[in-house]
Each structure stands twice: as C-alpha cells, then as structure tokens.
Chains A and B, each alone.
Chain A
Amino acid sequence: MGTLLALEGAVAQGLLYAIMTLGVYITYKLLDFADLTVDGSFALGGCVSAILITVGLDPFTSLLLATLAGMASGVVTGFFNTVFKIPPILAGILTMLALYSVNLRVMLGKANVPLGQQDTIFTIIQEWIPIQTDLLVILIGLVTVVLVIAFMYWFFGTEVGSAIRATGNNSDMIRALGVNTSWMKIIALLFSNGLVALSGALIAQYQQNASVSNGTGTIVVGLASVIIGEVIFGSRFNFIYKLMSVVVGSLIYRIVVALVLQVGLDTQDLKLFTAVFVALALAVPVFKQRIQRLSNRTGKIKEQPPGDNGGQGGAAQ
C-alpha cells in the first residue's frame, strides 16, 4: 500500500518535472546546447511563485510571472553566449551562479518560504474538483504536459522553429541561408527556461515550499529523463513521439527514485544515485556501439550514417 501511494506521488511529480524536462530537451537536443542555467531557473520559478503567493497574489498569476522570470534568465545566458561569446556550459554556469543570489533576493533573504498556510493552484482546483490530491496533481500535470507538447509541436514546425532546429544541427548552413543564429539561440533558451521555471513553480506549490537550493541537480535530472526516454523509445520516431518519450523518461526517473527510496536508500544519497544513474545512461550509446562493433567484426562493417546527432551538448559554438 505504501509503495502504491509512493508510486502515485512519483507519477504526479514526474508529470510536473516533465515540463522541465521538455525545456531541457529544447536546449540539449534541438539546440545542442547543454544549458546549466536550468539549476538556477528551476529554483527561480519556485521562489518567484512562492513569494508572490505569500504577498497575496493569486497562485495562477504567480505561475505566469515565474515563467516570465525563467525566460529572462534564459535570455541572459543567450546574451552571454552570443554577444560575449562565452561557451555554452560556462554561460549557463554564470547565470546559474548569479541566480543563486537573485533567488535569495527574491525570497527577501530567506532560504526557505513555506506555503502551508496559503492557497496554491492545487488547493484552489481541489475545491472545484474534489478528488484526492495526487490524482488531482496527475490530472493537472497531464493537461499541462499535453498543452506544452502541443505548443512545442506547433512552434518547432513553424519557420522560426525549423530555423532553431537547423541552428542546433548545422549553424553554418543556416547562417548561409540567412538566419541570425544568435537570435535563434536566444529564443530557444528563452522558451526552455520559461518551461523550467514553470515546472519549478508548480513543484514549489505542490510541495508547499520553495527553497533557493531546490534547483541543485535539476539539469542532471532533466538530462537523465531525456536520455531514459531516448534509450527506451529509440530515436527513430517523429517529433511528437520524441516529446512523449521525454515525458515518459521523466516518469520513469521519478518512479525509479520512489522505488529505491522505498527499498531503503537514504534521501541524502539520492544525488549520488542520480549522478551514477545518468553516467550509466549516457554510456548506453557507447556500449551499444561496442556490441555492434563486436558483432560486425566478421561481416562487412556498415558505415554509421551521420544521422541523428547524439546530442553532444555544448558542441554548438
């Protein structure tokens, strides 16, 4: 019974975190930009939302403002990268570092803001739809994720969206076709971090607590989810399946975490566990190649098509 409850909670969280993961997918997979801003913008979303709720703003509007704040932080990273020519990883680290101070400022100097006494979107919606909290969160999470995926499907199919995908894939080519790649990067970082902050805000409201250290490791979890989804689904499907696989990846990650905690893993070891888990997941393509090479040794070696890029985050200049 305890396990079942834990699983329900894991699914609920998995869906809320999936919004962040979809944001990470934009930068890591589509733009080929390993964006560490995420750790900061996730916390930023939670902090902005929580503080606004405590000063009396309605929780829905607080989500909107949290998203906007996240977008702004993405633009800062984009600015560092495209104008100052700072490499992607470092550009993200700088914003992330700056956000630590910003988040403390946002929370008026407090490292923690509890929301136990306040209404959140979940308590408000529960008044309209009186079902058990985790089920309600699953419902809300599902609706949000579907909306986000629909939006992304549309956006990355537009002229601008296609140009962004091409920027991540071959920036020389798309510049030669007349696209200002700096703008494309900034737009992608803006959307990505907006989603990440929205996710952070929803998680803060769900957990009824915002903390400046909430974001630590978010990017790793995001990458883990993207990679899990890819390993399970493969990369041969079309865009909408890829987005869904990212969501499934997030769910699986949360479920695995819930299970290992049930089995008795100490919460403080969770980050270690995640790091090892991600390292192994990242190594899967290497293992696959090894095995392929071994099995090809006798036969004719098939040339590997330079197709789907393995998401060498940060390779874009």
Chain B
Amino acid sequence: MIQLNNIYKTFHKGTVNEKKALNGLNLQMNKGDFVTVIGGNGAGKSTMLNVIAGVYYVESGSVILDDKNITKKPDYKRAKYLGRVFQDPMKGTAADLSIEENLALAYRRGKTRSLRWGIHKSEREQYRERLKLLGLGLEDRLKTKVGLLSGGQRQALTLLMATLQKPKLLLLDEHTAALDPKTAAKVLHITEQIIEQDQLTALMITHNMKDALRMGNRLVMMHDGRIIFDVQGEEKKRLTVQDLLEKFQIASGDELANDRMLLG
C-alpha cells in the first residue's frame, strides 16, 4: 500500500554541513501492517517519516501510495491519507484552541474547508465518545484550551485527532519519548488500542527496543539512511533485544547501544 523506492535525501547539499539522511532507502508496507522502526541517532528515521508525509521532498526515488505516485505532492495534500503524531507534544495540537476546536479541525482533515460553521452540535457527542476511550476525563472538558493540558493528555488527544478520520497510514515519531514512563505506557496502550480497533496501517518509530519487539507485526532497523534489518511475523515474535544488538553490529560494524536506547 505504501512503497518507498530507492529514496535519497541530502540536507545542506554542497556545503560543509552536507548530510546524507536517506541513502537508497527502500520500504514496502502492506495494508494492516504495524511496523516498528528502530535505529541509532541520526539514522534517518524521522526523515523517512517526513518524506512519507511530504514535509521534505526527495532528490531521487519515489513515494507510492496505493499505486498513486505522490512523490511531488505537498504535505497538506497528502494529509488526506496520513495521520501524524509528533515527538513534541506541543506540535500536534493548537494550544490556544479548545479541545473540541482541535478535534473539529482534525475531523475535517483532507476535506475542503468551507464557510460552514467550524463545529456542529452532532459532532460533540461523537467527540465525547471518542474522548471517553482515552480514560483521561477529557470528555467533560470539551471547551478547555488545549494549552492547559499536560503533555501526556495532549499526546493522547493528538493520537485521537490523527485517527478521527481513518488514515490510510498512521505515522508515529517517538510519540511517547517526551513523556514520563507511566504516561508513556498509557499513551502506548491507547495507541495499540486504536490501531487494533480501527485496523490501521501504522509506522511507529521508537527508541525503546522492548516496545519495538512487543508491538506490531513487523520491525525494521535503520542505519545510515537505509534499512539494514527487516523482520516480521513469527520470526519477529521470537526476536530478543540481544538478537537486535547482534544484528545491528553485524550489519553496521557499530555498537547500537547508546544513551537513548533502552536495552532492558
């Protein structure tokens, strides 16, 4: 359903700061795949997500979604197909707008915005129902400004917003990294719940190898702008953290363990 073909992306090309972020990247995902992505700092994970989302254009290669070539489509046009949750909890919501206004904006993802009223009465009931699923008590605070919520609440809300209109592909970029362990676990749980319930196709970057192993049906490891290890199904289920570390060393000749990798 989504296909990245031989993608190259270099930042600051032709300057001393030149940085090859993606280096002949190939990835194919099938409908219903839930892929977890791991890799060291600067491996190109976020860049890959941004290339899919259209935030960055590529130098060469193509992005295909459901047989349509979307390589040249700007981000706001691709938004129709994609739900996104960012690492920074501030980035996914508008702080000055209320919870229901944020949801109403998300409800219209990919639709032409008209001069109709921005939120309908009938929507509120639906939002309340969805918010209840989060179990954070947000269903009684529809009029609250999002800026007053905690990081975890905002992230859970962003997740809900990203999936309010069922996306063809859900993109999660370390969306729990900025949260405390307890909140992170909760948001991860909600993530699994939503993906399962709505049968979403999802791509989730994480620094937590345990989560990467536990969640999803497929795992890819990135290094130097390409995928160096790709495993799914039964084989993935049998995988251990130790296996991952070894795979990484063999494929890259490097140590994967760094301060941000959670080994345990």
Contact = CB atoms under 8 A, between A and B. Distances in A.
B118 A174 contact: no
Contacts of B77: 178
B93 A176 contact: no
A308 B145 contact: yes
Given A158-B116, A159-B114, A177 B96 contact: no
Contacts of B53: 176
Interface residues on A, range: 20 to 34
Contacts of A166: 94, 97, 105
A162 B113 CA distance: 9
Interface of A is mostly: helix
B96 A179 contact: no
A162 B91 CA distance: 17
A306 B76 contact: no
B97 A175 contact: no
A157 B118 contact: yes
B118 A177 contact: no
A265 interface: no
Contacts of A306: 90, 95, 147
A264 interface: no
Contacts of A169: 94-97
Given A173-B93, A175-B75, A176-B53, A307 B108 contact: no
A158 B114 contact: yes
Contacts of A155: 115
A177 B75 contact: no
Interface string A275-287: 0000000000000
B76 A175 contact: yes
Nearest to B85: A176
Given A179-B113, A307-B148, A173 B91 contact: yes
A165 B104 CA distance: 13
Contacts of B80: 178
Given A163-B105, A170-B91, A178-B77, A308 B113 contact: no
Given A162-B105, A173-B91, A177-B108, A157 B117 contact: yes
B115 A158 contact: yes
A161 B114 CA distance: 9
B84 interface: yes
A160 interface: yes
Contacts of B93: 170, 173
Interface in B66-107: 74-77, 79-80, 82, 84, 86, 90-97, 101, 104-106
Contacts of A180: 74, 76
A173 B74 CA distance: 14
B110 interface: yes
Contacts of A172: 86, 91
B111 interface: yes
A308 B96 contact: yes
Nearest to A170: B94
A153 B180 CA distance: 40
Given A177-B106, A309-B95, A160 B148 contact: no
A181 interface: yes
A132 B126 CA distance: 56
Interface of A: 155, 157-163, 165-166, 169-170, 172-181, 305-309
Given A169-B97, A305-B147, A308-B145, 5 more contacts: A162-B105, A163-B105, A170-B90, A177-B106, A308-B95
CB-CB nearest 9 A-B residue pairs: A307-B147, A178-B79, A162-B118, A159-B113, A169-B94, A178-B110, A170-B94, A177-B109, A166-B94
21 contacts: A157-B117, A157-B118, A158-B115, A159-B116, A159-B117, A160-B114, A162-B104, A162-B105, A162-B118, A166-B94, A169-B95, A170-B95, A172-B86, A173-B94, A175-B76, A177-B105, A177-B108, A179-B76, A179-B79, A180-B74, A306-B95
